[in-house]
Amino acid sequence: MDDVSDFLSTHFSSSGDANQTEEKGCTATLKAFIDYISLRETENFRSRKEENKNSITLTTIHQSKGLEWDVVFIVQANDSEIPLLHEYNGTVKEAGCTLEEERRLFYVAMTRARKKLYILHVTVDSHRQLLPPSRFLREIPGHLLDIQGEGAATKYHEQPSGDISFDHAEGETSTEKPIVNQNETSPYPELMQSCLANDFLKRFEIDDRAVVSHIFHHWAKRQAFQIPKRLLDKIKFVIDERLRGKGYKRKDVLCKLKSLLSDDEALGYAEYVS
């Protein structure tokens, strides 16, 4: 109502204007009002853009269409988010158009960046379950990637997440890593324990880590296997049983897991999930 009052007071202040409006009908008045609102909003947008030129914009992928920024962060690029799993059965419609639409949407998000693009994914959730990165990340040409954290050439334990950045030709390459105190006085002991435990999972291929994580978490829930050493013994027994069977398809993963169960990292991971 305030917009209407301002419009009427600005454009129809005399009786002559009112008489002219009656002759032309309400269509002309409505068009004039729309033009007034559009012009005002355009001026407001320019003003806000100038005032907030150093601010951070939070937006969804859908709302970002047509917009661009020098630096863009895509957060939680995990397979349960990008592509979004079907809400009824937890799967993606591989054969339908849904997966292709999700791929195009992810492309829209990536192309919002003028100079630098960061894609971050979570490695472990709050329930200590392994979260795989988005399958779309594998489709990105390797020469365009600067991978930090997950799969990096130089491993470090600062954060339990992957960070992939892209540099355009006009952008400067910068790979600054957060510094975290790793001694006993660290203010984030649980976080550090999580990062160190993930070293064991990193010895497996990305596609195989979910299998390993599932085996550990499945048996760690049992009261009888809350002790890490006992948990490892149980997993070794389960692996032997599955290797003797004929129906299990991931025997290569089980063989590798069995060969690593005696390592200190395996014991550390068992302590982490117990």
CATH for 61-140, among 3.40.50.1100, 3.40.50.300, 3.40.1640.10, 3.30.160.800? 3.30.160.800
> For residue 161, what pLDDT is reported?
44
The Cα–Cα gap between 159 and 220 comes to 24
Helix, strand, or coil here: 60?
coil
> For residue 190, what pLDDT is reported?
47
Residues in the chain: 274
> For residue 208, what pLDDT is reported?
81
Which are the contacts of 253, defined by CB distance < 8 A and separation ≥ 6?
A: 204, 208, 211, 212
The Cα–Cα gap between 259 and 251 comes to 12
The partner residues of 13 in beta bridges, in order of sequence, read none
Provide the b/e sequence for 225-234 (b: ≥16 CB within 10 Å): beebeebbeb
In a structure prediction context, what are the per-residue pLDDT tens digits for the chain, which is 274 residues long? 566 667 666 666 555 555 555 555 677 778 887 888 888 887 877 787 777 777 888 888 888 888 888 999 999 888 878 877 554 444 555 444 578 888 888 999 999 999 999 999 888 877 777 788 888 888 887 777 777 764 454 333 333 445 555 554 444 444 333 333 334 344 444 444 555 556 788 888 877 888 888 889 889 888 899 899 999 999 999 999 888 888 777 889 999 999 999 988 898 888 888 7
Task: Specify the DSSP element, H or E, that contains 99.
Answer: helix 98-110
The Cα–Cα gap between 43 and 249 comes to 63
Structure tokens at 53: 């030129």
Which are the contacts of 121, defined by CB distance < 8 A and separation ≥ 6?
A: 76, 77, 78, 131, 133, 134, 137, 150, 161, 162
Give the Å distances, CA to CA, from 149 to 162, 234, 249: 5, 31, 30
Q: Which part of the chain has CATH 3.30.160.800?
A: 61-140
- Residue written as tokens 């409505």? 30
> For residue 153, what pLDDT is reported?
40
- Residue written as tokens 């948990």? 231
> For residue 265, what pLDDT is reported?
87
The Cα–Cα gap between 68 and 114 comes to 7
